[in-house]
Amino acid sequence: MLHLRRTAVALCVGGALAGCGAGHDPPTESLDEAPVVAIERLVAAVPRARVERSSAGSVARVYGTRLASGATPADAAEEFMRRHGAVLGLQPGDLEPGAAATPDAGGGPPVIPVKYDKRRRRFEFLLMKFSQQRNGVPVYGADVGMLVRNEPGHPLVHVSSRAKALGTFAPRLRGAAIDAVQARAAVRSPAARRLYEASAVAAARSPLTDFTEADPVIWAGDELAPAAPVLAATFIGELPARAGGQPQKWRFVVDAATGAVLHQESLIHFDTVSGQVSGEGTVGIVAPQCAGTAAVPLPDAQVRIVGGSSAFGDEDGHFTLESSSLDPVTVESTLVGRYFRVSDRVSSRDALLSMSVTPPATADFLHEAGDEFSLAQVNGYLNATQVREWLLDVHPEYPTIHSQLSFPVNVNLTGGYCPGNAWYDYSSINFCQASSGYANTSFAGVSHHEYGHHIVTSGGSGQGAYGEGMSDTIAMLIADDPGLGYGFFFNQCSAPLRSADNDCQYSATTCSTCGSAVHSCGQLLAGAVWSIRNQLAQSHPETYREILANLVVNSVLLHTGTSINHQIPIDFLTLDDDDGNLDNGTPHRAQICAGFEAHGLLCPPLAQGLAVEPGPNFVAQGDPGGPFQPASHTYSIENYGPGTIDYGVSVDVPWLTVPVPSGSLEEGASASVVVHLTAAANELPVGVYTGTVSFQNLTDHLGDATRTVTLRVGGPQLLYSWDMDVDPGWTAQGQWQYGVPLGQQGDPSSGHTGSHVYGYNLAGTYPPSLPETHLTTAAIDCSNLSEVQLKFRRWLCIEPSYWDHAYVRVSNDGVNWMTIWQNPTSTIVDQQWVEQEFDISAVAAGQSTVYVRWTMGATDSVVQYCGWNIDDVEIWGTQLPPTSCTTDAECDDGLYCNGAEACQAGVCVSGTPVACDDGVACTVDSCDEVSDACVHAPNDAVCDNGTFCDGAELCDPVSGCVAGAPVQCDDGIACTIDACDEGMQGCSHTPDHAVCDNGLFCDGEETCSTESGCISGPSPCQGACDEIEQTCEAGACATDGDCADGDYCNGAETCVAGSCQAGTPWGQACYDAVPLAKHQQSGSFETTGEKWFVVTDAIYGWQASEVAGRTIRVNGVVVTPGQMPLPAPIDGKRYFHFSAGDRPWASWSFW
């Protein structure tokens, strides 16, 4: 069984294919390229690619055709991730080789062979598994599988994904960024362990006693309910079976900081329907009381000489033991083998046979089925062995199982979930004694089902409804019988507990019409596979069992999660395909789809009509006059039907031709179409030219398609450059500066060429808490360009993008900006000029007002680096062929600011951009397309001389910078000294108390208030005051405050009858109080006695743990843990007093 409770790439292969980094915790945000855009680009580049989304909306499958290829499987995976990895919504560094760890079983190998071909003795596919992580911390239940055909070119044909959307999340604990090592130490601390175990016991509602160590993970929800990512810890809690009670074994995922349970699932899997029973050893698949027994060999069983050697038998049970003795020896046989260990867990009646022989001799053992219990042991061994041999006959290298030894099989149980049950708990399979109308559950159908759960787990899938349905399916295929659990109830030998011969229909909301519970839902999958079996049995009567077993077993490796849905037919068809193209069907598509669709699970549709290969376009290149390579391109066209079609192929430019432009194709037939460049291509001037090849289905137009042909005459050229020897006059905000860098704080000491650069603060680092601040070029005319490239030299130092940000952006209107680069999740510290190159054609090609912007910020408040330095900026592009014309009007592009286009010598030429410089240094000059005029916006910041007290300088759009009015600071109060303070950039009003003194003693000390002027002070005496002697009567007081001496530890002084009385001292422990600073942990008290702390910092919050039984006082006032506000400081101090308690590990801290 499986209990679920919910409380709420770049690709690195053998290192890294792209940067893999770390950082701290900004809010989760969308990637620059949303998956929907990435999907559109994928389909544009690979027209037959298909995408299947999960119920939560994430991409679960990419399939349908050859998605990528490479010299090795890793190369193919890298090529897909490089071109289309954004489809999965991953960030650089999120993937590591190897399958994601499954609860209690660990991760799998990074490469798994799939679908073994016994005739050719090779696997048809290789499945590359990648687990998702962030900063070394694995993402719980998240992985990606890439299926590559095992043939030259290694075409990638199927991608399965359980990746989670993390955005820019990075692991943090209590506000601080941490790495995997720190995370592991944190979740394994004694305090964390106590917190987590208490939460687990409460969530399980069971006194769990045995807990594994916690491991850090990132929890981002499951496939049905995504959640915001959070650092979490995962561990197992267990309660062994005692006195007939049910055993408990749970996997928990808890919030690493709070211990709140985010996810829990039982690791005990059993058939909850009472009465499931079967046996292998008992003849057939029925329960023991329904059939007789037959003696069969025990494959791989262990035999040993007492005190001597041991050996495992072969598949027929034959064994050979070596003995050096000529005296009689005792030989023993138990139901323990190489791969399985059968135990009678309750009665300890483990099967043991022994005999005494004198070597050389023959020792034959027969484990007789003398009673229910010995029969259950034999059945347990034989049934488990049978399902394992069936599995490895289909897939000889099935993960985990092909090399797993001594897997436990526990029989004749009376406790736990007994009677009438069997279960799988990720580490064993378990069967009950006969009782209360139920058969002993150790028989074939039930054993095959429970070990089927182990096949599902070892294959990397989740359990749930899928696990139950696939386990039923495995039992069904082994027996070639739709019934499961014949004879589970006594005297019901002909009635199965469940049957795959059903009409369960898929439901997107309730799983199936047979029910939504996992066993009922599982019947949907078993029913669909049985329907496929019936189809194949008619079409392939000799091989249907082999075909179906191959598809079923290998589909487990592709499955993700716990659901039964339309993704499963996709997996079956991909495995069945033999040419990397699902559009033209698969060898057994008819049978597979008939079976699935009989139960409402839909196959992806077949293509119809005309199909054109390849998808990529024809691109030729050469110098003016030719030759061009390649000079021709061959397309393959195929008729997917229905019926015969006529086709035609045409081109739309004179420099292309199709020698054989038409023909007919019968259904399923194909033909080659060759497109050639003509001599007209040699006459074309420098530029990039495009033409279109049109493929038409002249019969019914199904599959009509076009392919673009690109002819590049010449190549990109350098068209604009700024070497920074002269200030280009770009718009600079904040501390962006043109000049010579000073070589401080990581900055360069000169440009890449020459001495000048544009940089952010040429004298040092960027400031803390900096908002986005830009350096923006003037408008660049790319209206006659294609293949536009931006090149520049960079010297950049910056923290990871979790904290600080740097961007390069491009716009064609100065308003809407596309980010073409941003700093990664790792630190950049350039120590030399680094060349940068970006294709900006998507924004710039054919545009007349292109702007490039370098952005510094936003940054955090903690660490600063040298920031941006820019030099040698260049724009490269390929000039488009000139547009032919007869009048100027034909050339007008409708824009004012780029000048008036003209027709000269029959071709359009660009105009001269409008000059808007007004000669006023403090205005920002620009050309406005809306008003068709120059705009001169005053920029007061240019005029600022950095001095506050002389007033704010302003920019006059005609005369330039004008001085401001000096700051006026007179506050009208006679006793203050008024001045303008440059340091604080404001007025200061310093009180002069001497101005207010009236020379009298007894009326108190007069002072100057900055708000109201001179004010009288309180009388210095509580009793009589002598003005002549200027003294007070000794010992007089009116309130306790008059007696306070500022020393807390000597007790609180009080005023009694007009006289001060000393307080009761707290003792030397108060004077020895431990100073504690903000954010500093007190550490364990390490004593049950009292503890004193003294705090001088301001307190905005505090917490204490493990202080039950202790009284807490702050400056003598009793408080509760975390109580705010606290009593006021005494002489700038707060004394925290923790009385004695019974927990020496108590601790506290404040912030």
CATH of the domain at 221: 3.10.450.40
**Regarding beta strands 705-713 and 618-622, do their DSSP bridges make them parallel or antiparallel, or are they unpaired?**
parallel
Q: Taking a C-beta distance cutoff of 8 angstroms, is the pair 26, 802 a contact?
A: yes
- Same domain assignment for residues 72 and 142: yes
Residue 309's pLDDT is 73
Q: Which of 739, 686, 730 is nearest to 712 (CA)?
A: 686
Q: Which of 116, 115, 114, 118 is nearest to 126 (CA)?
A: 114
130 falls within a domain: yes
63 falls within a domain: yes
- Same domain assignment for residues 641 and 746: no
CATH of the domain at 665: 2.60.40.10
Q: Taking a C-beta distance cutoff of 8 angstroms, is the pair 888, 900 a contact?
A: yes
Residues 6+ away with beta carbon under 8 Å from 483: 285, 445, 496, 498, 499, 500, 501
Q: Taking a C-beta distance cutoff of 8 angstroms, is the pair 29, 167 a contact?
A: yes
Residue 20's pLDDT is 27
CATH of the domain at 761: 2.60.120.260
Residue 297's pLDDT is 85
The Cβ of residue 470 has, within 10 Å, a number of other Cβ atoms equal to 29
What is the spatial distance between Cα 568 and Cα 562, in angstroms, rounded to a whole number? 11
SS3 995: helix
- Same domain assignment for residues 872 and 726: yes
Residue 325's pLDDT is 59
**Regarding beta strands 1091-1095 and 1074-1075, do their DSSP bridges make them parallel or antiparallel, or are they unpaired?**
parallel
What is the spatial distance between Cα 252 and Cα 103, in angstroms, rounded to a whole number? 10
- How many angstroms separate the Cα of 159 from the Cα of each of 126, 442, 662, 801? 12, 39, 37, 29
Strand partners, 231: 218
Domain boundary pick from 235, 269, 303:
269
Give Dmax over CA atoms of the chain in angstroms: 130
- Same domain assignment for residues 733 and 873: yes
Count the domains in the chain. 6
- Same domain assignment for residues 29 and 158: yes
State the distance between the two ends of the chain, measured CA to CA, in whole angstroms: 48
Strand partners, 980: 987
What is the spatial distance between Cα 730 and Cα 388, in angstroms, rounded to a whole number? 72
Residues 6+ away with beta carbon under 8 Å from 360: none
470 falls within a domain: no
- For 704, what's the count of Cα atoms within 13 Å in the CB-facing half-sphere? 9
What is the spatial distance between Cα 84 and Cα 66, in angstroms, rounded to a whole number? 13
What is the spatial distance between Cα 586 and Cα 880, in angstroms, rounded to a whole number? 46
Written as one string, the DSSP assignment of 25-84 is -PPP---SS-HHHHHHHHHHHSTT-EEEE-TTSSEEEEEEEEEE--SSHHHHHHHHHHHH
Percentage of the chain beyond pLDDT 70 is: 92
- Same domain assignment for residues 724 and 700: no
Which DSSP letter does residue 105 get? T
758 falls within a domain: yes
34-45 tens-digit pLDDT = 467 778 888 878
The Cβ of residue 429 has, within 10 Å, a number of other Cβ atoms equal to 29
Structure tokens at 533: 């079996």
- Same domain assignment for residues 744 and 658: no
Counting DSSP H helices and E strands in the chain, the numbers are: 14, 72
1001 falls within a domain: yes
What is the spatial distance between Cα 981 and Cα 988, in angstroms, rounded to a whole number? 6
Q: Which of 408, 375, 410 is nearest to 283 (CA)?
A: 375
CB burial string 836-857: b at 16+ within 10 A, e below: beeebbebbbebbbbbbbbbbb
- Same domain assignment for residues 19 and 131: yes
Q: Taking a C-beta distance cutoff of 8 angstroms, is the pair 644, 666 a contact?
A: yes
What is the spatial distance between Cα 384 and Cα 406, in angstroms, rounded to a whole number? 11
Structure tokens at 811: 């716009």
Domain boundary pick from 128, 152, 169:
169
Phi-psi region of 385 (alpha: psi -120 to 50; beta: other; left: phi over 0): alpha
One-letter amino acid for residue 537 of the chain: A
SS3 102: strand
88 φ/ψ angles, rounded to the nearest 5 degrees:
-85, -5
Structure tokens at 728: 């280009």
575 falls within a domain: no
Q: Taking a C-beta distance cutoff of 8 angstroms, is the pair 188, 214 a contact?
A: yes
384 falls within a domain: no
Q: Taking a C-beta distance cutoff of 8 angstroms, is the pair 902, 891 a contact?
A: yes
What is the spatial distance between Cα 953 and Cα 973, in angstroms, rounded to a whole number? 29
- Same domain assignment for residues 771 and 866: yes
- Same domain assignment for residues 731 and 835: yes
Domain boundary pick from 861, 881, 901:
881
Residue 538's pLDDT is 96
Q: Which of 802, 800, 795, 803 is nearest to 859 (CA)?
A: 803
- Same domain assignment for residues 79 and 161: yes
Q: Taking a C-beta distance cutoff of 8 angstroms, is the pair 773, 744 a contact?
A: no
310 falls within a domain: no
398-424 tens-digit pLDDT = 999 998 988 999 999 988 888 889 999
Residue 1033's pLDDT is 65
Per-10-residue mean pLDDT of the chain, 1151 residues long, equals: 25 26 31 61 84 83 90 87 83 74 51 87 90 89 91 91 86 79 87 87 81 91 83 89 66 90 77 31 74 83 78 81 71 85 72 79 80 88 93 93 91 87 92 89 92 94 93 95 89 88 94 91 95 96 95 94 93 93 91 95 91 82 88 93 93 94 92 94 87 94 92 85 92 93 92 94 92 94 89 94 93 92 91 94 92 95 91 89 79 84 79 85 83 86 82 88 89 89 84 86 85 83 71 68 77 77 84 81 80 86 85 89 87 87 82 77
Residue 588's pLDDT is 96
- Structural domain boundaries, residue 117: 9-169
- Same domain assignment for residues 138 and 68: yes
Residue 187's pLDDT is 85
- Whether the bond between 1125 and the residue before it is cis, its omega within 30 degrees of 0, is yes
Residues 6+ away with beta carbon under 8 Å from 861: 768, 769
**Cα-based angle 282, 284, 289 (whole degrees, multiple of 5):** 50
